[in-house]
Structure 1
Amino acid sequence: MPDNCFHCGEPATGEPPISLELDGKTRPFCCQGCKAVCETIHQEGLTGFYNFRTEPAVTPRELTESEVARLRELDHPLVQRSFVVPVKGGQEAQLLIGGITCAACIWLLENHMKQQPGVLSFSVNHTTQRARLVWAQDQTSLSNLLIAIHELGYTARPYQPDEAEQALKAEHRSMLIRLTLAGIGSFQSMMLAFPLYFNMITSVDPEFVTFFRWFSLLIATPVVFYSAAPFFRNARRDIQSRHLTMDVPVAIAIGLAYAASAWVTVAGGEEVYFESVCMFTFFLLLGRYIEVQARYRAGLTGNALAGFHPTVAARVQGEQTDILPIHEIVPGDIIRVRPGETLPVDGEIARGQSTLNEAALTGEYLPETRFPGDTVHAGSINGENPLDIRVVKAGANTRLSGILRVLDRVQEDKPKVAMMADRMAGKFVGRVLILAPVVWIGWWLAGADNAFDITLSVLVVTCPCALSLATPTAITSATVKLRRLGFLPTRGHTLEAMNDIDTVVFDKTGTLTRGELALVDQDTTGSLDKEACRKLAAGLEKHSEHPIARVFHGFPAAAVEDVTNHLGGGLSGSLGDHVYFIGHKSFVADHVNALPPSTSAHDGMEIWLGSEQEWLACYRLDDEPRADAAAAIESLQQAGIHTVLLSGDRSGHVSSIARRLGIEEAIGEASPETKLEVLEQLRDQGRHIMMVGDGLNDLPSMAGAGVSVAMGSAADLTQMKADAVLLNGQLLQLVEALRTSRKTRKIIRQNLIWALIYNLCALPLAAAGMVAPWLAAIGMSISSLVVVLNALRLGRTPGSEPDSINTPVGARVPS
Structure 2
Amino acid sequence: MGSTLTTELTLGVGADARCAHCGLEATAGDARTVDGATYCCAGCETAASIIRQSGLSGGFYALPERRSSRVAPSGRSYAEFDHEAFHAAHVKALPDGLREVQFYLEGVHCASCVWLVERVPLIVPGAVRAELDVTRAVARLAWDPTAVSLSALARALDQLGYPPHAFRGHRADEARKAEERAMLTRIGVAGAIAGNVMTIALALYSGIFSGMEREFERYFRWLSWILVTPALFWPGRTFFTSAWQALKNKRLHMDVPIALALALGYVQGAVNTLRDGGPIYFDAVGTLIFLLLVGRYLQHRAQRSAADSAALLGALSPATARVVDGEHVKEVPSEAVLPGMTLDVRPGDTLAADGTVVRGTSSLDLALLTGESRPVRVGEGEKVFAGTVNLSSPLRVHVEEAGITSRLGRLLRDVEDGSRERPPVVLLADRIAGYFIAVVLVLAAITATLWWQRDMYFAIDSAIALLVVTCPCALAIATPLAFTVAVGRAAGRGILVKGAHSLETLTGRGTIFLDKTGTLTEGRMELEAFDGPAELRSAILGLERHSRHPVAAAFAQAWADVEPRDVVEYEETLGGGLRGRVDGRELIVGRPEWVLARSARVAERLQGASPLDARLTPVLIAVDGEVVARAGFGDPLRSTAKGMIGELQAHGWEVRLLSGDAPQVVRAVASALGIPAEQAEGAASPERKREAIAAARAQGTVVMVGDGVNDAAAIAAATVGIAVRGGAEASMAAADVYLAKRGVASLGELFAGARRTTSVIQRNMAVALGYNAISVAMAMMGILDPLFAAVLMPLGSVTVILATWRATTFPKEAL
- Taking structure 2 as the reference length, what is the TM-score of the superposition? 0.76
What CA deviation, in whole Å up to 9, does each residue of 1:30-70 have, x standing for no partner? Answer: xx9xxxxxx99xx99xxxxxxxxxxxxxxx9x99xxx9989
Equivalent residue in structure 2 for 1:537, among 528, 535, 544: 544
Measured after TM superposition, the shift of residue 480 of structure 1 is: 1.0
Take 1:413 and 1:300, find their aligned partners in 2: how far apart are those partners?
Answer: 14
1:301·1:716 contact (CA, 8 Å) conserved in 2? no
Equivalent residue in structure 2 for 1:242, among 239, 250, 253: 250
Take 1:285 and 1:463, find their aligned partners in 2: how far apart are those partners?
Answer: 15
Take 1:284 and 1:685, find their aligned partners in 2: how far apart are those partners?
Answer: 39
The residue aligned with 2:725 is 712
Distance 1:754 1:251, change over 3 A: same
Figure out how many residues of one structure are paired with residues of the other and give that number: 738
Take 2:161 and 2:612, find their aligned partners in 1: how far apart are those partners?
Answer: 45
Measured after TM superposition, the shift of residue 579 of structure 1 is: 8.4
The residue aligned with 1:781 is 794
The residue aligned with 2:392 is 384
The residue aligned with 1:160 is 168
1:365 aligns with 2:373: yes
The residue aligned with 2:674 is 662
1:502·1:689 contact (CA, 8 Å) conserved in 2? yes
Equivalent residue in structure 2 for 1:729, among 742, 745, 753: 742
Take 1:86 and 1:580, find their aligned partners in 2: how far apart are those partners?
Answer: 63
Larger mean Cα displacement after TM superposition, 173-182 or 484-493: 173-182
The residue aligned with 1:454 is 462
Measured after TM superposition, the shift of residue 96 of structure 1 is: 9.0
Take 1:453 and 1:240, find their aligned partners in 2: how far apart are those partners?
Answer: 28
Paired residues for 1:24-103 under 5 Å: 79=86, 82=89, 93=102, 95=104
Task: Tell me which amino acid in the other structure corresponds to 1:202.
Answer: S
Q: Secondary structure at the match of 2:518?
A: helix
Q: Secondary structure at the match of 2:323?
A: strand
The residue aligned with 1:27 is none
Measured after TM superposition, the shift of residue 739 of structure 1 is: 0.9
What CA deviation, in whole Å up to 9, does each residue of 1:114-156 have, x standing for no partner? Answer: 9x9999987754xxx7665989999998689889999xxxx99
1:470·1:751 contact (CA, 8 Å) conserved in 2? yes
1:234·1:247 contact (CA, 8 Å) conserved in 2? yes
What CA deviation, in whole Å up to 9, does each residue of 1:370-429 have, x standing for no partner? Answer: 111012223323222232222333444433344345556666765544443333322322
Measured after TM superposition, the shift of residue 634 of structure 1 is: 3.1
What CA deviation, in whole Å up to 9, does each residue of 1:757-815 have, x standing for no partner? Answer: 11111112223332232332332222112222322235665299xxxxxxxxxxxxxxx
Take 1:514 and 1:75, find their aligned partners in 2: how far apart are those partners?
Answer: 43
Task: Tell me which amino acid in the other structure corresponds to 2:351.
Answer: L
1:355 aligns with 2:363: yes
Measured after TM superposition, the shift of residue 737 of structure 1 is: 1.0
The residue aligned with 2:63 is none
Task: Tell me which amino acid in the other structure corresponds to 2:638.
Answer: R
Take 2:315 and 2:214, find their aligned partners in 1: how far apart are those partners?
Answer: 70
Equivalent residue in structure 1 for 2:658, among 646, 664, 667: 646
Take 2:448 and 2:375, find their aligned partners in 1: how far apart are those partners?
Answer: 74
2:419·2:734 contact (CA, 8 Å) conserved in 1? no
Paired residues for 1:299-698 under 5 Å: 303-310=311-318, 313-324=321-332, 329-404=337-412, 406-407=414-415, 414-525=422-533, 527-529=535-537, 533-534=540-541, 537-538=544-545, 540-541=546-547, 544=548, 546-551=549-554, 566-570=573-577, 583-584=590-591, 598=606, 600-602=611-613, 603-607=615-619, 619-664=631-676, 665-680=679-694, 682-683=696-697, 686=700, 688-698=701-711
2:543·2:580 contact (CA, 8 Å) conserved in 1? no
What CA deviation, in whole Å up to 9, does each residue of 1:685-726 have, x standing for no partner? Answer: 55x321101233323432332211112322222221211112
1:276 aligns with 2:287: no
Let me know the Cα RMSD of the aligned residues: 5.1
Take 1:72 and 1:168, find their aligned partners in 2: how far apart are those partners?
Answer: 31
Larger mean Cα displacement after TM superposition, 417-426 or 361-370: 417-426
Take 1:580 and 1:108, find their aligned partners in 2: how far apart are those partners?
Answer: 57
Q: Secondary structure at the match of 1:645?
A: strand
The residue aligned with 1:36 is none
Distance 1:76 1:401, change over 3 A: closer
Measured after TM superposition, the shift of residue 369 of structure 1 is: 0.7
Task: Tell me which amino acid in the other structure corresponds to 2:378.
Answer: R
1:526·1:614 contact (CA, 8 Å) conserved in 2? no
2:114·2:134 contact (CA, 8 Å) conserved in 1? no
Take 2:654 and 2:453, find their aligned partners in 1: how far apart are those partners?
Answer: 64
Task: Tell me which amino acid in the other structure corresponds to 1:601.
Answer: L
Distance 1:419 1:302, change over 3 A: closer
The residue aligned with 1:9 is none
Take 2:803 and 2:516, find their aligned partners in 1: how far apart are those partners?
Answer: 39
Please say which structure displays the higher CA radius of gyration. Answer: 2
1:537·1:552 contact (CA, 8 Å) conserved in 2? yes
Distance 1:413 1:195, change over 3 A: closer
Unaligned runs of 5+ in 2: 1-14, 18-27, 29-39, 46-69, 125-129
Take 2:80 and 2:588, find their aligned partners in 1: how far apart are those partners?
Answer: 34
Distance 1:135 1:158, change over 3 A: same
Larger mean Cα displacement after TM superposition, 706-715 or 401-410: 401-410
Q: Secondary structure at the match of 2:232?
A: helix
Take 1:192 and 1:517, find their aligned partners in 2: how far apart are those partners?
Answer: 71
2:309·2:412 contact (CA, 8 Å) conserved in 1? no
Distance 1:71 1:711, change over 3 A: farther
What CA deviation, in whole Å up to 9, does each residue of 1:503-525 have, x standing for no partner? Answer: 32101122212323233344554
Measured after TM superposition, the shift of residue 167 of structure 1 is: 4.8
Q: Secondary structure at the match of 2:738?
A: strand
Q: Secondary structure at the match of 1:621?
A: strand
Distance 1:253 1:95, change over 3 A: same
Distance 1:248 1:797, change over 3 A: closer
Take 2:112 and 2:377, find their aligned partners in 1: how far apart are those partners?
Answer: 39
Q: Secondary structure at the match of 1:304?
A: helix
Identity among equivalent positions (%) equals: 32
Task: Tell me which amino acid in the other structure corresponds to 1:667.
Answer: E
The residue aligned with 2:34 is none
1:604·1:621 contact (CA, 8 Å) conserved in 2? yes
Distance 1:787 1:284, change over 3 A: farther
Q: Secondary structure at the match of 1:369?
A: strand
Measured after TM superposition, the shift of residue 526 of structure 1 is: 7.0
1:525·1:618 contact (CA, 8 Å) conserved in 2? no
Task: Tell me which amino acid in the other structure corresponds to 1:508.
Answer: K
Q: Secondary structure at the match of 2:347?
A: coil
The residue aligned with 1:199 is 207
Q: Secondary structure at the match of 1:714?
A: coil
Take 2:359 and 2:765, find their aligned partners in 1: how far apart are those partners?
Answer: 65
1:308·1:344 contact (CA, 8 Å) conserved in 2? no
Equivalent residue in structure 2 for 1:755, among 768, 785, 806: 768
Task: Tell me which amino acid in the other structure corresponds to 1:720.
Answer: A
The residue aligned with 2:53 is none
Unaligned runs of 5+ in 1: 1-20, 24-31, 33-38, 45-59, 99-104, 801-815
Distance 1:744 1:297, change over 3 A: farther
1:83·1:94 contact (CA, 8 Å) conserved in 2? no
